[in-house]
Amino acid sequence: MEDMIEPGLQEAPPWERAECQALVDELQGLRRAMLDCEQRLAPWITGTAPVQRASARNLAHYLAMRSVDARGLQDRLARFGLSSLGRAESHVLANLDKVLGLLHVLLGRPWRPLAGDEPAGFRHGPALLARHAERLFGTSPAERRVRVMVTLPSEAARDPVLVGSLVHAGMDIARINCAHDDADAWAAMAGHVRRAAASSGRPVRVLMDLAGPKIRTGPIAPGPSVLKLRPLRDALGQVLAPALVGLRAQGAGGTVDGASAMLGVDPAWLAQLRPGDRIDFVDSRGSARRLTVVDERTGGVLAQCDRTAYLTPATRLRLHRRGAEPRETGVADLPEQAGRVPLQRGDMLRLTPDGLGHAASHGSGHRRVQPASVACTLPEVLAQVRKGERVWFDDGRLGGVIRRVTRRGVDVEITDVADGGAMLAADKGINLPDSRLELPALTAKDRADLDAVVHHADLVGLSFAQSADDVRALRVLLAERGGAQLGLILKIETRRGFEHLPEMLFAALAGEAAGVMIARGDLAVECGFERLAEVQEEILWACEAAHLPVVWATQVLESLARTGLPSRAEITDAAMGERAECVMLNKGPHILEAMRTLDGVLRRMQGHQSKKRPLLRALKAWGPAPA
């Protein structure tokens, strides 16, 4: 024990002695269960690194404590003004022993501290977590305990100024997502980070996330080529600003200054256009529309349209000029619409092992001839799913139930979708929360990418970690490449990963620098949105017991980073990041503003919260009334 029982405490009155004794008996039974659990898990504990051994023992004690419902015990302890064990994660046995000691004093009995059994005390446990966080993430800023991680966009590979602005704004860890770009781009990103960090005099670490076996929708047949022109109107429908389109020679590159859209036309027809010319056409809906040439510009002419119009490859433009015969041209270089599959509740979607996805086709009387389909990027999972299991698409925006499994594919009935339906695009995530999938955490691509990771990164992220074997396999591959010293971050993003979290934490403790990322996007879909709050809490508690730092990730200040305006809910969510050792922001055009906002939120919150322990800082807004 690090703290001795203070002498002279009031003994419990006789009527409370029986309750005190019952509490002593129950706590001693719980203590024996903790030591028994440590004995059972001895093979896992001895497999950890020597510097992590105390943390592994504390984790075993925590697992034992949380294997029983102790809510009644907590209430009874609180009635005596004693610790209810509710904030004991980092020093489980020491907290229990402190309570046992106080109960012995209340009973008038001697108490001998049991420090020899306690791997972490009141001060030593939190210090271990802080030390491990510093080993993994580097030193935290002097004014902010929680580090900030930022996902680098693809343009960071060719824009050192962007990377420098992130570093100077306070980025502590730069995240490179190996699911995108290539080894040359990753090398460029890491190089920009290193140079910007050296220039600013700030330590910035590089995390490279392995892509892992992410299941996604395959390519979808492109939609029709169409250009929509839409003027800006007020609330009464009056035109405030016409749509501006640039007319240029078909096949020519470049843009026409001032145009919001481009259209290719016959070069000879284009050459005769002059300001004031009227160009009539019939759009794809059969509506008569008109363009008016307003100016000649470099590369073409600028025309305006005062009414909404849809132009397709079949559209013909007819020039009208006084004293001249009308002349026509076809249109070209129309933007190709990204392929999307429209789906509504009750529709059937077929998941196939390959091929282009497409919308459902219909015959006479709207009779469906062919269901909508989309390929699965990991076709081997189609043989591992069963009828009745759930499927979610696009981070939970679409959901369904498997109705049939055949050699041609898997038929999914859409059951969960917004009113009015939704569009499913290519490269969207597919989650199978009910299916017992046997997939390696490390794909062939991941193994190849490790060569670049070892060369450029300080930390490596294991995506879709689901078992201790996954963790050990990655450590072996890193050691083979001379990267055993890299910090390891386990990304918990599946229900199976959450269920196997304890064994993975012990495996992570085999190295000297490890942590956990709560990847809340996939995790919410896998475990159910209604369970996410409790799941992320349980991960935080278990990691604190293992003295492993946590990254609070996915959609933190996402609206702010993308649009420049945060929602009230995401500000509250960002404040929850104070309970982790690192918070991750995703890329977006307003990422610098998001970083400044997050920095302010975290600085304020660290005076009020430490892990799940509220701090009673003086509330100046509610000071005592003046005399």
Q: Are 34 and 61 in contact (CB under 8 A)?
A: yes
pTM above 0.95, yes or no: no
High-pLDDT (> 70) share of the chain, %:
93
pLDDT at residue 142, as a whole number = 85
Over residues 330-358, the mean pLDDT reads 92
pLDDT at residue 615, as a whole number = 59
State the residue for tokens 């020491």.
94
pLDDT at residue 324, as a whole number = 63
Over residues 393-416, the mean pLDDT reads 95
Band (pLDDT 50/70/90 cuts) for residue 4 is very low
Is the pLDDT assigned to residue 596 strictly greater than 90?
Answer: yes
pLDDT at residue 363, as a whole number = 61
Q: Are 211 and 445 in contact (CB under 8 A)?
A: yes
Q: How far apart are the first and last CA of the chain?
A: 46
Band (pLDDT 50/70/90 cuts) for residue 460 is very high
Q: Which residues pair with 270 in a beta bridge?
A: none
Dist CA 249 CA 333 (whole Å): 10
Dist CA 524 CA 535 (whole Å): 9
Band (pLDDT 50/70/90 cuts) for residue 361 is confident
CA dihedral over 57, 58, 60, 64, signed as positive or negative: positive
pLDDT at residue 487, as a whole number = 97
Over residues 326-352, the mean pLDDT reads 91
pLDDT at residue 1, as a whole number = 40
pLDDT at residue 619, as a whole number = 53
Dist CA 35 CA 527 (whole Å): 32
Domains parsed from the chain with CATH numbers: 14-122 (no CATH), 129-213+439-606 (3.20.20.60), 227-330 (2.40.33), 340-428 (2.40.33.10)
- Angle, helices 532-545 vs 520-527, to 10°: value is 120
Is the pLDDT assigned to residue 350 strictly greater than 60?
Answer: yes
Q: Are 137 and 581 in contact (CB under 8 A)?
A: yes
pLDDT at residue 626, as a whole number = 52
